[in-house]
């Protein structure tokens, strides 16, 4: 099904403005594969009609649903492994030295998707820190309301727990629900909160104030969707809600050179991890 060029132009600008994602002509397939099933399920005859409906009501439920569909929520437990090793071997011991045995440790999983990253952080904290349940506070945010609902439920499919989780973590932190579903246990769940949040919104820092300042931020595999200027803005906004000397994980190659004066790069577990300068 084709999309007229003026509608494509409007829709690309709308998605970029709302969630920061650039859709060029090479990514037309993304629009088709994600929005055609949605249009059909809503009884909307064509993608042109769908786009016209969004244009008439950009704040409406249909427009929100469409933006949700344009996000890519691919994730897994303990993705890339090294950030979790860095937490256990380097950052948790450092923070315990700095804060003593009871000071709280605040961690933000920005672009948390369906929650696997935030729950992996919680599992690692429980493995590595005495009293983790009461002292480690994790917040996961994502622009996708659907992903955040899923994360909040903490109910994962067999296929999802088979990606990245050890048998030991599965036994310790999940209860089987029948043969196909696994529920995160309440004590792990209590360490993690989720809320919707747009990384390119100017309200981001204020919406997170009550949960911060953060000692550690995970902002992985999302900056890649933004252009350089937006990446710089997002990294500056993250710095605003972090403690001086706080730590940032990005995805491979996602950091922007323009931010380097504020940040020191450390190689931990043989990979780059960023530390915010002391104020």
* Closest CB to ligand SAM among residues 123, 200: 200
Q: Which is nearer to ligand SAM, 151 or 188 (CB)?
A: 151
Within residues 109-138, the interface with ligand SAM by CB under 6 A covers 111, 113, 117
CA distance 212 to 241: 6
Nearer to ligand SAM, 73 or 195 (CB): 73
Which span (37-45, 53-61, 220-228, 240-248) binds ligand SAM, by CB under 6 A?
220-228
Identify which range of 95-103, 124-132, 197-205, 241-249 contacts ligand SAM by CB under 6 A.
Answer: 197-205
Choose the stretch contacting ligand SAM; rule: CB under 6 A; options: 4-12, 100-108, 142-150, 240-248.
Answer: 142-150
Question: Are the C-beta atoms of 218 and 83 separated by less than 8 Å?
Answer: yes
Q: Could you tell me how many residues of this chain bind ligand SAM (CB under 6 A)?
A: 22
Is position 225 an interface residue for ligand SAM (rule: CB under 6 A)? yes
For the CB of residue 141, give the shortest distance to ligand SAM in the complex, in Å: 7
Burial of 270 (0-12, 13-18, 19+ CB in 10 A): exposed
Residue 275 interacts with ligand SAM (CB under 6 A)?
no
- Contact track, ligand SAM, 75-114, x by CB under 6 A: x---x-------------------------------x-x-
């Amino acid at each position: 099904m084709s999309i007229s060029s003026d509608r494509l132009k409007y829709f690309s600008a709308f998605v970029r403005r709302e969630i920061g994602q650039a859709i060029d002509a090479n990514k037309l397939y993304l629009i088709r594969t994600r929005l055609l099933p949605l249009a059909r399920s809503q009884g909307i005859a064509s993608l042109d009609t769908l786009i016209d409906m969004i244009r008439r009501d950009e704040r409406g439920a249909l427009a929100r649903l469409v933006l949700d569909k344009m996000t890519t929520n691919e994730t897994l437990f303990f993705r890339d492994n090294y950030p979790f090793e860095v937490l256990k071997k380097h950052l948790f011991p450092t923070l315990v030295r700095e804060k003593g045995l009871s000071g709280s440790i605040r961690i933000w999983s920005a672009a948390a998707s369906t929650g696997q990253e935030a729950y992996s952080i919680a599992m690692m904290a429980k493995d590595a820190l005495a009293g983790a349940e009461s002292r480690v506070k994790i917040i996961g945010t994502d622009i996708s309301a659907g992903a955040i609902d899923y994360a909040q439920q903490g109910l994962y499919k067999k296929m999802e727990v088979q990606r990245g989780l050890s048998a030991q973590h599965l036994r310790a932190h999940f209860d089987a629900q029948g043969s196909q579903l696994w529920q995160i246990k309440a004590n792990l769940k209590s360490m993690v909160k989720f809320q919707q949040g747009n990384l390119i919104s100017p309200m981001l820092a204020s919406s997170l104030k009550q949960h911060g300042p953060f000692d550690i931020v995970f902002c992985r595999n999302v900056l890649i969707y933004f252009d350089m200027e937006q990446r710089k803005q997002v990294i500056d906004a993250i710095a605003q809600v972090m403690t001086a000397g706080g730590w940032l994980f990005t995805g491979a190659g996602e950091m922007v050179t323009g931010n380097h004066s504020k940040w020191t790069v450390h190689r931990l577990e043989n990979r780059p991890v960023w530390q915010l300068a002391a104020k």
